[in-house]
Amino acid sequence: MKILILGGDGYLGWPTALHLSEAGHDVAVVDNFARRGYDHEMGTGSLVPIEPLQVRIRAWHELTGQFIGCYVGDLTDAEFTHHVVRDFEPDTIVHFAEQRAAPYSMVDRKHAVYTQVNNVVGTLNVLYAIAEINPDIHLVKLGTMGAYGEPNIDIEEGWIEIEHKGRKDRVLFPKRPGSFYHLSKVHDSHNIEFACRIWGIRATDLNQGIVYGQQTPQTARDDRLATRYDYDAVFGTVLNRFVIQAVLGLPLTVYGNGGQVRGIIEIRDTVRCLQLACENPAARGEFRVFNQMTQSLSVMQMAQTVARVCPDKVTIEHLANPRVEEERHHYNVVHSGLLELGLEPHLLSDTLIESLLVITKRYAHRVRPEAMIPTVDWRRASSPISL
């Protein structure tokens, strides 16, 4: 297949590009390097050094003989988006290219507006490019488990059958997200479902849980192929941060009592899920939803697992929760769609945490410990950014 990967310079887009290239697909990536720009804005950076995109692509070609195409530009620019889709003529578009940090979206008005405009307008431009150029293209769009929030009922896979006053219908599962970032994914999902309904395009919405891990078999082949690994309080995600804190001898920063339960998934499973979604496309007119997570753990369970595996003494600190979120709630998620397509999950294991500890020790000197402290406060309309 010809697969266009939007956001192909990012934490997940880059390993997915390599995985799909190795699987025999003809791959091109699109990015505007916004993610590298946020690092400059916040004075932080990936723990593991990453090469410029062009160096990564050349290294992959040198090692495997495979070409990965590259388009540099912004998806909120409709002309650019149309140009890329016309020029590459993809069968499938995998869309990772959004501002993805909840705390970044909650800094202040400017960051909230940027997040929603970037994410919603970029996705609308992609939908129009598909509808106008080739409605047969399959859109595989990254969504998020956090769009559902923590309802007091089981979370279904995107859709729910309801009965109301004696009548029945199948509707999109109700959403109750916890940040302006997560809300941008809800808006995207509605726009995509609408496009499937009115234009008959095909789409898969992957409501992904929190990703952990740093290596895939492809990125591990050469340091030049490494993907990013974030630790700061704005972009670093919870399990990745806990491992880095453990190595540095810093307390693990559990927000509140740590009873919040989240769906998680390892990076090797992410790239495999993307392959399964691409190779088994949705039908024309179908808005297909998968819950892309492999297990659920509370934040406290994640901290305790890291503390148990780390050979050094680890302390767990409960910080006042900077977010507004439930810390004790029901959480039971249906996530059978990708398993039915053949996913064999890697569950959180001691071996994986040990390998992350090794990677972290190698680059520990690059950490700025002050960037670990959360500064974005959900209860205030305006917060100082990290540092």
The stretches of the chain forming alpha helices (DSSP H) are 13-22, 34-42, 53-64, 78-88, 102-105, 109-116, 122-133, 180-199, 238-248, 267-279, 299-309, 337-340, 350-363
Cite the active site residues: 144, 181, 185
Measured from the CB of residue 169, what is the shortest distance to ligand NAD in angstroms?
28
Which residues bind to ligand USQ, rule: CB under 6 A? 100-102, 144-146, 182, 209-210, 237-238, 241, 253-255, 260, 262-263, 299, 323, 325
Residue 263 binding target from ligand NAD, ligand USQ, none, CB below 5 to 8 Å by type: ligand USQ
How far apart are CB 36 and ligand NAD at their closest, in Å? Answer: 7
Smaller CB separation from ligand USQ, 80 or 242: 242
Helix then strand then coil, in percent of the chain rounded to 5, is 40, 20, 40
Residue nearer to ligand NAD on the CB measure, 122 or 256: 122
Q: Which does 238 bind (CB under 5 to 8 A by kind): ligand USQ, ligand NAD, none?
A: ligand USQ
Collect all residues with Cβ–Cβ distance below 8 Å to 330 and sequence separation of at least 6. Answer: 150, 151, 152, 153, 154
Ranked by CB distance to ligand USQ, the top (closest) residue is 146
Q: How far is residue 5's CA from residue 77's CA, in Å, rounded to a whole number?
A: 17
User: Which distant-in-sequence residues (6+ apart) come within 8 Å of 30 by Cβ?
Assistant: 4, 5, 6, 7, 8, 70, 71, 72, 73, 75, 84, 97
Q: How near is the Cβ of 61 to ligand USQ at its closest, in Å?
A: 30
| 285's tokens | 């007119």
Q: Which is nearer to ligand NAD, 35 or 224 (CB)?
A: 35
Q: Pick the closer one to ligand NAD by CB: 296 or 381.
A: 296
Query: How far apart are CB 127 and ligand NAD at their closest, in Å?
Result: 14
Amino acid at 330: H
Give the footprint of ligand NAD on this chain (CB under 6 A).
7, 9-13, 30-35, 74-76, 96-100, 118, 122, 142, 144, 208, 210-211, 237
